Amino acid sequence: MLTLAIGDLFIPERSIDLPTKFKKLLAPNPNSIPSNNKISRVVCLGNILNSQESLKFLHNLSPQFNLVKGEYDNSTILSQQLSILSHNKEEIIPYCNVFTHDNLRIGYTNGYQIVPKGDPLALSAFSRELDVDILIWGGSHRVEAYTLDGKFFVNPGSATGAITFDWPDNEAYEEEEEANKETEMKEDKPDEKKEEKETEQGIEDQTESKQESSKINKEILSEVTELNSNIPSFCLLDIQGSTCILYIYTYLNGEVKVDKVTYTRD
């Protein structure tokens, strides 16, 4: 049986709905409960926000629905909505939780209480605190999967591709790259003869330089677009014994792509 890791929907605040192809994959039998007989547990990392229909959709996917509080969730409203769906008393929505599947302990959290946010070392320390083999976290809207200190770290990203207002992680790298380019330009200053030749050819190269600058501007615009756009994604975990096979589902250009990552505890 499979475990679904999903979160950061932000419906309807930042996104209208899940991609239609995602909904068909996740709920092949939408009129029955559970709507997917292959998923044994749903782990929701929060930030569903004010869509009761989205919460109902996730709740009805499998027999077990586990939810943690997201950074922007109203825990009181979520608790009330969840009690109506499950026909149980209202319960406090936790910040994190742990469950065991076969030989692996899995912890999950939205991750906004971890400082620095999304930092691998901070996540590693948190996984040791929970004493888990696999840590699932969210909040970054970017799908990730890696091993560190013998543990497996999984971020399913945003299921709707909702925009995030966090600062891009690669900004420091870009600033460092620009600084390196400036130092290289200073070191490679041309001599006087080369400068004279360059001034003679300057008029001829004006058109080419304008074309190059326009290309650079287009590249910058495309980079900005990539930084401000997120790809809808979720993850399925197939755990057998001490091995976890992670299936990463992403929705790009109208198609669903699946990647596989395998983790085995030492």
Do residues 62 and 31 touch, judged by C-beta distance below 8 A?
A: no
Q: Which pLDDT belongs to residue 228?
A: 46
Distance, in Å, from the CA atom of 227 to the CA atom of 234, rounded to the nearest integer, reads 19
With cut-offs at 50, 70 and 90, classify the pLDDT of residue 125. Answer: very high
Phi-psi region of 111 (alpha: psi -120 to 50; beta: other; left: phi over 0): left
The first and second tokens of residue 234, run together, are: 């979720």
Distance, in Å, from the CA atom of 21 to the CA atom of 185, rounded to the nearest integer, reads 50
The first and second tokens of residue 94, run together, are: 């936790």
- Does pTM top 0.85 for this prediction? no
Summarize pLDDT for 113-124 with one digit per residue, the tens.
Answer: 999 999 999 999
The first and second tokens of residue 65, run together, are: 């629905």
Summarize pLDDT for 62-72 with one digit per residue, the tens.
Answer: 999 999 999 99
Phi-psi region of 225 (alpha: psi -120 to 50; beta: other; left: phi over 0): alpha
Q: Which pLDDT belongs to residue 127?
A: 98
